[in-house]
Structure 1
Amino acid sequence: MATILVIEDEQDICEIISEILSEADHTVFTAPNGRMGIERAQETAPDLIICDIMMPELDGYGVLSYLRSQERFRTVPFIFLTAKAEKQQVREGMNLGADDYLSKPFTIRELIGAVEARLEKQQLWEQSSEERLGELRQNLTRSLPHEFLTPLNGILGYATFLCEEHEEIEPEDVYEMGMGIRASAQRLYHSIQNFLLYAQLELLKEDVQRSGELFTGQTEQLTGTVAARIQAIAERHHRSEDLAISLQDSPVAMPETWLIKVLEELVDNAFKFSEAGTPVEVGLTVTGEQVQLTVGDRGRGFQPEQIKQLGAYEQFDRKLYEQQGSGLGLEIVKRLVNLNRGTLEIESQPGELTQVRLTLPTQLSAAV
């Protein structure tokens, strides 16, 4: 069944728990105090840990705090044993990452029930994680090779032609090929930058302090830089006449670097997935202590179920449409907005109107 570690300084209780769990076909290891419990955990790699709170040398809180700081034990179910299940003890243990409590004295049914419930929950979590990992592998296989190789092939194709035919190529053709190389290189650079940024966001997902240092902050007022960067995206898509911008000047509780990144990703998607000649509208309005950013287009949009499935490396209808992008842009936007205490909503009527709406505090103090 499962390998269970019992850390309990009262020998009689430890033996009783061990016997009950052994009868239930579990493999049981024991330790008489917190320090030895940590050593046994490292030796035996248990599937579940049952630990008393009040113990000599190192109490249960110390054991839990240390184990949760180790990568290999961060998701191992942890059940506290306590003689007095006081509210403060429960809260302190939960804050440290405990999964459950058992109050002494407990019945055989309560012990088995708590253990089986936590093992079943852990198994379901592992299955779900494996399914998500499998989906991620499939999405990576579909999107990244295309997104990296397509612009790279363009660069290689133009460069090869220039090398082989340089004596016969007209200057204006050289210019056009140079522009093609630059466009492909910019696309490749953007994909790599998004890949690296997403990886950084993933690695720092559990490090709240470091994430705050890198990704949260304040823009005191919107500058012409924001509008200029949006205009540049429209020009890159040769659709300057389709762009409509209406930005109120306001402080925003997000660093300007990431605010511009968020807008660039949303505006680029709006142009990418809508037809030339249809409008792309970018607006910012202020209501009280909040700002609302909206990006709207008349492209093919999303079905309701697709909005629910949006995530990293996720794209839809790739066989029907030539899509540029790895699916990372919107996921990066969601992460950055959430880190700055904002919200993201998507409303879409396919073929008519798709609108992405971000709501952010105006001041950093209101976001903390």
Structure 2
Amino acid sequence: MNKILVIEDEFLIRENLLERLGSEGFDTLGAENGLDGVKLALADRPDLIICDVMMPELDGYEVLKTLRQNPNTAAIPFIFLTAKADKASLRQGMELGADDYLTKPFTKTELLGAIATRLEKQAVVAQHFEEELVSFVQSITDALPEELLSPIYQIFNLTQKLVDEHDSIAPQELLTVAEHINHSTMYLHRLMENFIIYSKLKSLNLNSQEVEVLSNCRTSNPNTVIVEVATQKATQYGREADLTLNIARAGVKIAEQDLRKIGEEVIDNAFKFSEDGTPVQIKATVDNDLFQLTVSNSGCAMTLEQIASIGACRQFEREFYEQRGCGLGLVIAKKLAELHDGQLIIKSAKTEPTTTVCIDLKCA
């Protein structure tokens, strides 16, 4: 049984609505002002809210704005009741995230039709989310055990070697074993970190207060962050001579930790999927208040189909490239760019074995 919250300060209208909805089999809640309505919505999580615009305490616009900023109520379908049907009023409500309007007076058919449409749409969204969740869980089930076990087995074998040969192992060999253990541990840490980040991004509501906070983040010196990350990755792969940097100076609208994460994943892929001695070119330009970062490498070109189907836990051409990883890094970078009102685009062609990742971010 769907639960509907009616927020209306006029007693007769509120009671009439509650009676009508109850007779149609809905579970109902009523609030006489916006403040009480917000409290009921947060406490009872209704399936749909019908709310008057002009009310004491909080008007309908403030009610909607408050609920859309809370991740627990942000996705609840919201229908305004109003005596004002002018374009400006409608636009104001729609920009805040209203799903529909009913203009007073309205008929029972109009009321039930609006409710049915919104609940059906919500059911479709819920079904889609459920299918995505099932797919995500299945991806983790398929990919995570193998990805976890590989470094764990390596760490186990190497530490077992130290135990078995502790009295005879040479210092240089000891150093080599320690470096391999360190490498496997770092890989394991990054793998788990990426799964945690991706899970958070998947569950992040686009209307939540957290996203609003992200939209106000700035990085004043992105060139410093990018140069630092690129240098670290080149050193990690022993390919300092392959790296070319040309980074413009401009502030960007993105949190520094998110810019760093994007850089780490995209630049790491550029080195991972290209041969020693081939160039990795990183360039950033500013054009019409847009900060455009490109990372290019030779090798491991992707088909248009592969580019179009970037998804979690998929590693392209795995049978040809033995590097480990579930393919989450590129997905995380793409989602982080989009969260900050930017975009990530991949350009690649088999005829020219090069891959270029383009990240567009707004200048601060």
Normalised by the shorter chain, which TM-score bucket? Answer: 0.7 to 0.9
Query: Which residue is 2:220 aligned to?
Result: 218
Q: CA deviation at 1:129?
A: 0.9
Relative to structure 1, the CA distance from residue 332 to residue 38 in structure 2 (aligned partners, 3 Å threshold; closer, same or farther) is: closer
- Alpha-carbon separation, structure 2, partners of 1:255 and 1:71: 21
Kept in 1: contact 2:348–2:354 (CA 8 A): yes
- Aligned partner of 2:89 in structure 1 is 89
Checking the alignment, whether the CA contact within 8 Å between 1:285 and 1:291 is kept in structure 2 is yes
**Corresponding residue SS for 1:6:** strand
- Tell me the matched-pair count: 357
In the alignment, the residues of structure 2 paired with residue 311 and residue 225 of structure 1 have an alpha-carbon distance, to the nearest angstrom, of 28
Query: Structure 2: how far apart are the matches of 1:212 and 1:64?
Result: 20
**Cα displacement (A) at 1:194:** 3.4
Task: Give the partner amino acid of 1:330.
Answer: L
Give distance in 2, aligned partners of 1:181 and 1:244. 27
C-alpha spacing 1:53/1:342, structure 2 compared with 1 (3 Å): closer
Task: Provide the C-alpha distance between the structure 2 equivalents of 1:335 and 1:231, rounded to a whole number of angstroms.
Answer: 25
Match of 1:357 in 2: 358
Residue by residue over 1:48-96, the C-alpha shift from the partner in whole angstroms, topping out at 9 and shown as x without a partner, is 1212223345543444344445443222111111111233433443344
1:158: how far off? Answer: 0.7
Given the superposition, is the C-alpha separation of residues 120 and 284 from structure 1 closer, same or farther in structure 2, using an over 3 Å criterion? same
Report % sequence identity: 40
Cα deviation, 1:121-171, whole Å, max 9, x if unaligned, reads 100110111111112112222333333332232222111111121123233
Match of 2:285 in 1: 286
In 1: Cα distance, 2:214 partner to 2:260 partner: 18
Relative to the length of structure 2, the TM-score reads: 0.81
Q: Which residue of 1 aligns with 2:140?
A: 140
Instruction: Quote the offset at 1:178 in angstroms.
Output: 1.8
Aligned to 1:156: 156
Aligned residue number for residue 53 of structure 1: 53
Report the counterpart of residue 232 of structure 1 in structure 2. Answer: 235
Residues 250 and 286 in structure 2, CA contact (< 8 A), matched pair in contact too: no
Tell me if structure 2 keeps the 8 A contact 1:33–1:55: yes
Q: How does 1:66-105 map to 2 (within 5 A)?
A: 66-105=66-105
Report matched runs for 1:158-237 at 5 Å: 158-198=158-198, 206=208, 207-208=210-211, 210-211=213-214, 216-219=218-221, 221-222=223-224, 225=228, 227-235=230-238
CA deviation after TM superposition for structure 1 residue 113, in Å: 1.8
Query: Within 2, Cα distance between the matches of 1:171 and 1:123?
Result: 64
Q: CA deviation at 1:260?
A: 4.9
- Alignment partners' CA distance in 2, 1:268 and 1:60: 49
Amino acid at match of 1:219: N
The aligned residue for residue 330 of structure 1 is 330
Quote the Cα distance in structure 1 between the aligned partners of 2:331 and 2:29. 43
**Which deviates more from structure 2 when the two are superposed, residues 114-123 or residues 32-41?**
32-41
Q: Secondary structure at the match of 1:268?
A: helix
CA contact (8 A) 1:217 1:340 kept: no
**Residue identity opposite 1:349 in structure 2:** A
Structure 1 98/204 Cα, relative in aligned 2: closer, same or farther at 3 Å? closer
1:233/1:264 contact within 8 Å kept: no
Amino acid at match of 2:349: Q
Is 2:280–2:298's contact at 8 Å kept on the other side of the alignment? Answer: no
TM-score (norm 1): 0.80
Alpha-carbon distance in structure 1 between the residues aligned to 2:176 and 2:43: 65
Alpha-carbon separation, structure 1, partners of 2:57 and 2:360: 50
**CA–CA separation in structure 2 for the residues paired with 1:291 and 1:35:** 43
Equivalent residue of 1:72, what SS?
A: coil
- Give the distance between the partners of 2:32 and 2:291, measured in 1 at CA: 57
- 1:123 alignment partner in structure 2: 123
Q: Deviation of residue 249 (structure 1)?
A: 4.8
Q: Does 1:251 align with 2:254?
A: no
State the distance in 1 between where 2:286 and 2:39 align: 56
Which amino acid in 1 is paired with 2:81?
A: L
Q: Secondary structure at the match of 1:73?
A: coil
The DSSP-based 3-state class of the residue aligned with 2:237 is helix
RMSD across aligned C-alpha pairs, in angstroms? 3.5
Gap regions ≥5 residues in structure 1: none
Residues 295/57 of structure 1: CA separation in 2 closer, same or farther (3 Å cut): closer
Change (3 A) 1:346 1:227: closer
Structure 2 residue identity aligned to 1:251: A
